[in-house]
Chain A
């Protein structure tokens, strides 16, 4: 069965430190993975998707099929990065039906 696992509920780092938010998935098909972010008092929004291979707000994520992982990384964390981050797997083909992980709360301290 398809599943997304985010092992850390909370990740706390200091400003300027590197950040890695872990995401592992289980899916028998060809995975399409996403990172969504929810800042305080804001809506859940798309941060990036693996097919775009883009860097958004300094964040990158590489799909590793061998390790079934899609970790989110940023070399130098900023205080404004503090938010709830959700990894999501598209299992519905072109339909956009997503399975979300439980989320990791990132806290960047000054």
Chain B
């Protein structure tokens, strides 16, 4: 499968624990995005990387959230001291530059449940 890959598919954790998700984008894509989706809502933008540089962060991304893309390839999203309100589907997407920069390819997501 040459699409966007996300791991794990599901994560159940207790409130207060830290969790980390991984995203492997399509190999030739230099742009990587994290979105969050809750039940009944569309995806909400969290943050965006071009290569290894994090260029934009949403106000939704509290201090407990941190994202990295150290070598401009895969990315990780860490949530510290999880809260029940963090329960959501976390989606990763990637895109190429140029004319296709707005054509996002999404992964299958990581479903987080905070108990």
**A residues engaging B (CB < 8 A)?**
4, 9, 32, 34, 36, 43-46, 49, 86, 88, 90, 92, 94-103
Contacts and interface: CB of A to CB of B under 8 A. Distances in A.
Given A96-B95, A97-B56, A46 B42 contact: no
Contacts of A98: 43, 45, 102, 104
A44 B43 contact: yes
Contacts of A102: 40-42
A100 to B, nearest CB: 3
Interface residues of B, number: 24
Interface in B25-50: 31, 33, 40-45, 48, 50
Contacts of B31: 95-96
A34 B102 contact: yes
A49 B104 CA distance: 11
